[in-house]
A and B are shown apart, each in its own frame.
Chain A
Amino acid sequence: MSPLKLTGFTLTRRRSAEMAVILVLLALLLVAPTFFARISVLFFILNWIVLAESFNMFAGLTGYVNFGHVVFYGVGGYVSALLMVNAHASPYVAVIAGGLASSLLALGISLPTTRLRGAYFAIATLSINEAFFVTFDSWDAVGSAPGLSLPISYYQPVVEYYVMVVVAIACVLSMYAISKSKFGIALQAIRQQEVTANSIGINAAYYKSLALVFSGFFAGLAGALAIWQITFIDPPSAFNVTITVTSISMAMLGGLGTVIGPVIGGALLYELTDLLGLSYPFIHLIILGVIIVGVVLVIPDGILGASRRVLTKVRGRR
């Protein structure tokens, strides 16, 4: 969580090395379906990265925790599923509509809640989850408890994978662009000292709303894409608190407030929980709990922050 350089960003040698790594990764992602049989694994890694990064987009930049993150995922999933099931919409339209619906929801949630400080905001978001689950569980028009299944004709794993790649790249790039922009500086100021931010002319409520709208948009896309891939949605899977817990642990493990942290945290943790989840039910939840507690106490700035600290120490010694 290093302070933003307001001077703008300069392409240093370290930056160009980072760029090279990113380009290689991108190339690998693009050709993966030609040699990798289980692209659904890659799909879900990217899906989790988007969830973690979109959580980070709000929490990491503003310093407010949204414990209801999964609601964006669930609503995005439901809106796209409804469009595909009832209106036989094109999946692309449905996915985008899912993202837009969640960003609209984010706007709605932000209006009353961005006035709330710290703990009060967290408490309010904690309760949103429950309300959505209960509503969708008893709402017949959205399939209520039995849920919705997509027609089999929608299943196109390779296409879904490439759309996922595009969304993941867009999400990470947006996070990058936001954190380098005037908008990002406003959020930095709000996170560090909100009263002061207001008193230098920053409309904190507005910028926080906007951050939540972006966060909601990408989480909504992730939900819509996940439903396209899984072809089924019901309230327990769409509004599963575990999804929020996982997004939080991924973002924190990698480094909250950084651009790349959630990418690293997402990839690492997905692999870990996937491997363990297969053989032991529920144990991945224990691991997520341990990771959240451990990161808070040991490396509050995540793997990325900690490794940067170690690197500067090593460099300093030379």
Chain B
Amino acid sequence: MGDLLRLTQVAKRFSGLEVLKDISFEVAEGEVLGLIGPNGAGKTTLFNIISGILKPNSGRVVFASKDITGLPTHRVSRLGIARTFQIPQPFAEMTVLENVRATLLFSNPRPEGKLPRDAKEICEMVGLGGRLEQPAGSLSAPEKKRLEVARALASSPRLLLLDEFAAGLTLSESSWASEMIKSLSKDYGVTIVWTEHVMKILMRSVERVLVLQSGEVIASGTPAEVVKNELVLKAYFGGKPA
């Protein structure tokens, strides 16, 4: 299968501070790519650039053979890239169901997409079936994270960007998350890029990992390879094996 997403030499500065330096990588159609990196490594910034919230200072972002660099967010979304926010940002006054319905209303489903187009079904998929009529603002923190996924799925994405999705979840919740993400990729054919701080959660569900540090990709490979990488051990795990 070909590449669904390709970044070439993407760089981003915030008032002189280089947050991303020369980032290049590809994501194959159907792949689940993990992206790990410590606080401030630039993971969220990278997602913001892919989803059009920020424009890179240089470099290109190509999605499904289309150059989407600097395209406005709503158009990126309608091309089939959905994201969750690290800090959940639901429409707080709408109910869970309304959050998902609003997304369905503005999304642009692909004819070949397999994801459900029914709000209730999507909510049930992420385990929010019992919270349909609750205002999103009153959900618990883990429930808000589920709603982030529900909303992202409602826009029928080809590519799903998950920003620190499992961080702060309990053990059982995060193993639910791994299972769901695996199923999204296997059963629904969604390509996924998933960032986390820590390796452990990613290990079981991703095929390939990129390690981002201070805005640079310092290693890549299977989870098992990356964990053994000298550079990663030194730079990221502070010298000690994970």
Which residues does A use to contact B, with CB under 8 Å? 1-7, 182, 185-186, 188-189, 192-193, 195-205
Interface SS of chain B: mixed
Query: Contact between A188 and B90 (Cβ–Cβ < 8 Å)?
Result: no
Q: Does residue B86 face the partner (Cβ distance < 8 Å to A)?
A: no
> Of A5, A200, A203, A205, which contacts B155 at CB under 8 A?
A200
Query: Contact between B94 and A186 (Cβ–Cβ < 8 Å)?
Result: no
Q: Does residue B78 face the partner (Cβ distance < 8 Å to A)?
A: yes
Query: Contact between A182 and B98 (Cβ–Cβ < 8 Å)?
Result: no
Query: Contact between B77 and A201 (Cβ–Cβ < 8 Å)?
Result: yes
Q: Does residue B176 face the partner (Cβ distance < 8 Å to A)?
A: no
CB-CB under 8 A from B106, the residues of chain A are: 186, 200-202
The answer to whether residues A192 and B91 also contact, given A198-B72, A200-B102, A201-B107 and a CB cut-off of 8 A, is yes
Q: How large is the interface on B (under 10, 10 to 19, 20 to 34, 35 or more residues)?
A: 20 to 34
Query: Roughly how many angstroms separate A189 CA and B90 CA in the complex, as a whole number?
Result: 9
The answer to whether residues A201 and B78 also contact, given A192-B94, A193-B91, A195-B53 and a CB cut-off of 8 A, is yes
> Of B77, B89, B93, B103, which contacts A3 at CB under 8 A?
B93
Known pairs A4-B94, A193-B90, A200-B154 / 16 extra A-B pairs, C-beta < 8 Å: A3-B93, A3-B95, A3-B135, A5-B98, A6-B98, A186-B106, A188-B102, A192-B94, A197-B91, A198-B74, A200-B106, A201-B77, A201-B108, A202-B74, A203-B75, A205-B72
Q: Does residue B12 face the partner (Cβ distance < 8 Å to A)?
A: no
Write 15 A-B pairs (CB below 8 A) sorted by A numbering: A1-B93, A3-B95, A5-B98, A7-B101, A188-B91, A188-B93, A188-B94, A189-B94, A189-B102, A193-B91, A195-B85, A196-B151, A198-B53, A199-B82, A200-B155
Query: Contact between A196 and B85 (Cβ–Cβ < 8 Å)?
Result: yes
> Of A182, A199, A202, A204, which contacts B83 at CB under 8 A?
A199
The listed residue with most B CB atoms (<10 A of its CB), out of A189, A200, A202, A204, is A200
A-B pair count, CB < 8 Å, reads 84
CB-CB under 8 A from A185, the residues of chain B are: 102, 105
Query: Roughly how many angstroms separate A6 CA and B106 CA in the complex, as a whole number?
Result: 13
> Of A6, A196, A198, which contacts B101 at CB under 8 A?
A6
Q: Kindly report which residue of chain B lies nearest to residue A186, judged by CB atoms.
A: B106
Q: Kindly report which residue of chain B lies nearest to residue A202, judged by CB atoms.
A: B106
Query: Roughly how many angstroms separate A195 CA and B102 CA in the complex, as a whole number?
Result: 14
CB-CB under 8 A from A6, the residues of chain B are: 94, 97-98, 101-102, 105
Query: Contact between B92 and A199 (Cβ–Cβ < 8 Å)?
Result: no
Query: Contact between A192 and B83 (Cβ–Cβ < 8 Å)?
Result: no
Query: Contact between A4 and B92 (Cβ–Cβ < 8 Å)?
Result: no
